[in-house]
């Protein structure tokens, strides 16, 4: 079990209260039924939409664990954040045997985001997306196919393949990763004939920064820091991202023209 890993994070007491603020729904796209939770801003007006993609540790159909498993999925529902930056939040959940990066799921996910943005009457120029591990991998797949839709993205401890890297440079991004993450390595691995199999955040950020017009930031935690300084497993960089006010403020400052 993921929760048995030394240093694996556990949600705080306030998380359950935040989760209770999210309504439930299910989005149907072809044969895929996508459970989702959503937080609807109570204020009148047009507000940003934040999309959260969970990791592989909370896969299922309970429509609960994508938010209850960690604090990171509810950070934008915190009272102090909503007072500063009122926003809607959507948190879908994929099921065992599927993956965010599956092409069918990528299309379903984009269709869902467009639908719920319309349903919530969200600001179409301020749709943000963030997620960790498998969720970050899904973000990269989504941005490659829909490079002109999201105002900003924050992929945490993710990776991608070597194709269509240039498309990722069209979306402002702030990446997070621990250099000694053993679950999703931050570096690069290759398969036969020199083809890329895995490009982690460290290498990806370097490549994207070289593309003219890109806006890429990268926060990397040195070897040993996650456990020695924070008592966290090095894969759990989502915990620190959720506490990073600068990165969150940056994301909310972006607008898609």
For residue 99, the domain's CATH number is: 3.40.50.1820
Whether the pLDDT of residue 228 is over 80: the answer is yes
Confidence of residue 201 (pLDDT cuts 50, 70, 90): very high
- Give me the pLDDT at residue 96, please: 85
Residue 1 domain-assigned (yes or no): no
Neighbours of 169 (CB within 10 A): 20
Residue 3 domain-assigned (yes or no): no
Residue 164 domain-assigned (yes or no): yes
Residue 209 domain-assigned (yes or no): yes
Question: What's the DSSP call for residue 110?
Answer: H
- Give me the pLDDT at residue 191, please: 60
Residue 5 domain-assigned (yes or no): no
Whether the pLDDT of residue 196 is over 80: the answer is no
pLDDT in tens, 141-176: 999 999 999 999 999 999 999 889 999 999 999 999
Residue 7 domain-assigned (yes or no): no
Residue 142 domain-assigned (yes or no): yes
Q: Give, rounded to a whole angstrom, the gap between the first and last alpha carbons of the chain.
A: 44
pLDDT in tens, 1-52: 566 678 899 999 999 999 999 999 999 988 889 999 999 998 677 999 999 9
CA 257 to CA 36: how far, in whole Å? 28
Residue 2 domain-assigned (yes or no): no
Query: Which structural domain, as residue segments, surrounds residue 153?
Result: 12-253
- Partners of residue 27 on adjacent β-strands: 34
pTM of the model: 0.95
Overall number of domains in the chain: 1
Between 138 and 43, where is the model more confident?
138
């Amino acid at each position: 079990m993921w929760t048995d890993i030394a240093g694996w994070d556990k949600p705080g007491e306030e998380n359950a209260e935040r989760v209770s603020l999210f309504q439930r729904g299910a989005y149907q796209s072809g044969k895929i039924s996508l459970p989702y939770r959503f937080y609807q801003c109570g204020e009148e007006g047009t507000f940003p939409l934040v999309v959260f993609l969970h990791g592989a540790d909370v896969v299922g159909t309970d429509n609960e664990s994508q938010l209850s498993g960690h604090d990171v999925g509810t950070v934008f529902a915190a009272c102090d954040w909503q007072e500063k930056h009122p926003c809607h939040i959507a948190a879908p959940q994929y099921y065992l045997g599927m993956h965010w990066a599956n092409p069918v799921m990528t299309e379903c996910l984009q269709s869902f985001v467009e639908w719920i943005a319309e349903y919530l009457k969200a600001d179409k120029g301020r749709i943000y997306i963030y997620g960790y591990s498998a969720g970050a991998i899904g973000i990269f797949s989504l941005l490659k196919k829909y490079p002109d839709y999201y105002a900003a993205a924050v992929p945490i401890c993710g990776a991608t393949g070597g194709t269509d890297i240039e498309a990722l440079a069209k979306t402002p991004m702030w990446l997070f990763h621990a250099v000694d993450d053993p679950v999703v390595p931050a570096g690069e691995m290759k398969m036969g004939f020199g083809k890329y199999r895995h490009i982690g955040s460290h290498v990806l950020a370097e490549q994207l920064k070289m593309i003219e017009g890109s806006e890429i930031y990268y926060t990397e935690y040195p070897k040993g820091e996650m456990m020695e300084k924070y008592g966290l497993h090095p894969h759990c960089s989502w915990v620190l991202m959720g506490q990073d006010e600068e990165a969150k403020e940056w994301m909310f400052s972006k607008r898609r023209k």
